[in-house]
Amino acid sequence: MDKLSSLQQILDETEERIAELNETRDEISSTEERLTKLAEQADRQIDVLHDIAKKDVQGKKGGEGSRAKKKSTSASLTPQIRDRVRALKKRYNWTNQEIAENCGISESEVELILELPGEEN
């Protein structure tokens, strides 16, 4: 009878371990899904930054006339400009002056954007 109860105890412990392993596997699976989504978001953001850099290079080829045009439109700070300012600061650690020159806005506007609450702040 002792052997039977001992075997039953071993079976119970094994079932508990299997349940724990299944739970851990499910947690790992959900973590993997979250990481995949994050990687996809990062890829999209890199694509956006690539497009921004590409447009910036094309804009600089236009000369000072296009720079003056950019300055005149800085009164309307679009969400894209705000996102771009935050991205340049966070990802590349650019100075406020570099960001202002790149985005065609003033340094004080850059400072205000960085002080405002946003998605990445």
CA dist list (Å): 32 to 26, 42, 45: 10, 15, 20
Which pLDDT tens digits describe the chain residue by residue (121 residues)?
788 899 999 999 999 999 999 999 999 999 999 999 988 888 888 878 877 777 777 776 665 444 444 444 444 688 889 999 999 999 999 999 999 999 989 999 899 989 888 765 4
Rounded Cα distance between 13 and 102, Å, is: 64
| Segments making up each domain of the chain, as ranges | 1-61, 64-121
This prediction's pTM: 0.41
Which residue has tokens 């990687």? Answer: 39
Rounded Cα distance between 77 and 104, Å, is: 10
- Nearest-Å Rg of the Cα atoms of the chain is 27
